[in-house]
Amino acid sequence: MANQSISRKLIVCELGEIKYQEAWDLQKKYFQQRTLGNVDDILFICEHPHTYTLGKVAHKENLLLNKSELTEKGIETFEIDRGGDITYHGPGQIVGYA
């Protein structure tokens, strides 16, 4: 097979600081549109306020703050459908979603 060049466009979208739920909703929206071929590939770059995500196999005892401490500190938690345990996301931590 001859070398063929495939030209694809990647849109990089810098969101700044955005709540985890808002970023998740945006990813789902664009995933649906991308699956249908309605939009180009996109990379979201952002950071989140203090947030913990709990994966499918998360051990809640690894989260060292109780609900009232989390609320007092303004930290959100989300149970998500990825593997893994508990992940911290916060200001200054750059995250990329493709």
5 in a structural domain: no
Domain assignment of residue 50, given as a range: 10-97
4 in a structural domain: no
Using pLDDT thresholds of 50, 70 and 90, give the confidence band for residue 4.
Answer: confident
The CATH number that applies at residue 73 is 3.30.930.10
3 in a structural domain: no
pLDDT tens digits along 65-83: 999 999 999 999 999 988 8
Q: What is the pTM of this model?
A: 0.82
Count of structural domains within the chain: 1
- Asked if 83 and 56 touch (Cβ cutoff 8 Å), the reply is yes
Give me the pLDDT at residue 1, please: 55
61 in a structural domain: yes
71: left (phi over 0), alpha (psi -120 to 50) or beta: alpha
